[in-house]
């Protein structure tokens, strides 16, 4: 008998597809709408992540209405700015979402890949409820400024790429060939040379996982869950058995000794390669 997955938080965006993922999520969740939380995003021209950012105020409203329709719902539980638009004042963006909240179309305001000062400026206009940015065992930059700021302001953290785009599971090595169109083909961290260098981290995670009787993926997710109580990772997958594996991470107990052992591993291993190509890197707010 297959286990029942009690997942209640679903993350999507107009840019996923584009648009198609929102429609699928809306169709699937319509029968249980009041039992789940749905997050979606605005912020790209024509909903296309390959184009420029677009957080013009009229565009935010347009995206909101389109997302409500695609998701078959009367409210968006969490509405993220997908990427910071340097051409639109963040105070104006926050003010527009604040108006949408007042109208009942949006319940909570989120940001993605935003820097500390931008978060503070937005938060002063409309409290930011969640930040979605990359964070994992092989990308820990948020620990420097982001996590302390979120903790100070009472903002939740939703890490994406929490399994290192699959690398931390151990399923990828220097011999792996990605299919055409897979964005990992353009990511420096996934070059053959860097994958070979970074495999040392996967091996160490594997040793810890074996000792605990769990998988590498479960260790990577459990580590995030144990880092801070306000962290909610969103691992992506295309396979049901991987979804079940990921969900099992919630039951993995990591003691303080386990966390110290992982920290010791992280302290002695340097990760090779940038996490984004130059085009994507230019979009990151600092």
pLDDT (tens, 9 = 90+) of the chain, 286 residues, equals 344 447 899 999 999 999 999 999 999 999 999 999 999 999 999 999 999 999 999 999 999 999 999 999 999 999 999 999 999 999 999 999 999 999 999 999 999 999 999 999 999 999 999 999 999 999 999 999 999 999 999 999 999 999 999 999 999 999 999 999 999 999 999 999 999 999 999 999 999 999 999 999 999 999 999 999 999 999 989 999 999 999 999 999 999 999 999 999 999 999 999 999 988 888 888 7
**Domains of the chain: which residue ranges?**
1-128, 163-286
Instruction: Specify the CATH superfamily of domain 1-128.
Output: NADP-dependent oxidoreductase domain (3.20.20.100)
* Global pTM value: 0.95
Instruction: Determine the Cα–Cα distance for residues 178 and 176; give it in Å rounded to an integer.
Output: 6
* CATH of segment(s) 163-286: 3.20.20.100
Taking a C-beta distance cutoff of 8 angstroms, is the pair 1, 244 a contact?
no
| Catalytic residue list contains 80 | no
The CA distance from 89 to 85, in Å, is: 8
The DSSP call for residue 248 is: G
Q: Rounded to the nearest 10 degrees, what angle do helices 192-212 and 256-268 cross at? A: 160
Same fold, 1-128 and 163-286: yes
């Amino acid at each position: 008998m297959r286990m029942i997955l009690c997942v209640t938080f679903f993350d999507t965006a107009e840019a996923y597809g584009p648009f198609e993922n929102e429609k699928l999520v809306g169709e699937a969740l319509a029968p249980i709408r009041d039992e789940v939380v749905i997050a979606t995003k605005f912020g790209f021209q024509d909903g296309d992540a390959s184009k420029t950012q677009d957080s013009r105020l009229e565009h935010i409203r347009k995206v909101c209405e389109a997302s409500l329709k695609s998701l078959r719902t009367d409210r968006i539980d969490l509405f993220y700015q997908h990427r910071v638009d340097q051409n639109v004042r963040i105070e104006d963006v926050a003010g527009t979402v604040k108006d949408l909240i007042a109208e009942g179309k949006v319940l909570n305001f989120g940001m993605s890949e935003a820097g500390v000062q931008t978060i503070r400026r937005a938060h002063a206009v409309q409290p930011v409820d969640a930040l979605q940015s990359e964070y994992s065992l092989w990308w820990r930059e948020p620990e420097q400024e982001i996590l302390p700021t979120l903790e100070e302001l009472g903002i939740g953290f939703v890490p994406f790429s929490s399994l290192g785009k699959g690398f931390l599971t151990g399923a990828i090595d220097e011999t792996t060939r990605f299919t055409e169109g897979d964005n990992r083909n353009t990511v420096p961290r996934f070059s053959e040379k860097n994958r070979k260098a970074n495999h040392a981290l996967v091996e160490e995670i594997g040793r810890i996982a074996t000792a605990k009787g769990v998988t590498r993926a479960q260790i990577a997710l459990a580590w995030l869950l144990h880092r801070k109580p306000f962290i909610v990772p969103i691992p992506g997958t295309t396979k049901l058995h991987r979804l079940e594996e990921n969900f099992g991470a919630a039951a993995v107990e990591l003691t303080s000794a386990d966390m110290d052992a992982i920290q010791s591993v992280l302290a002695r291993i340097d990760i090779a390669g940038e996490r984004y190509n130059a085009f994507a890197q230019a979009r990151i707010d600092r």
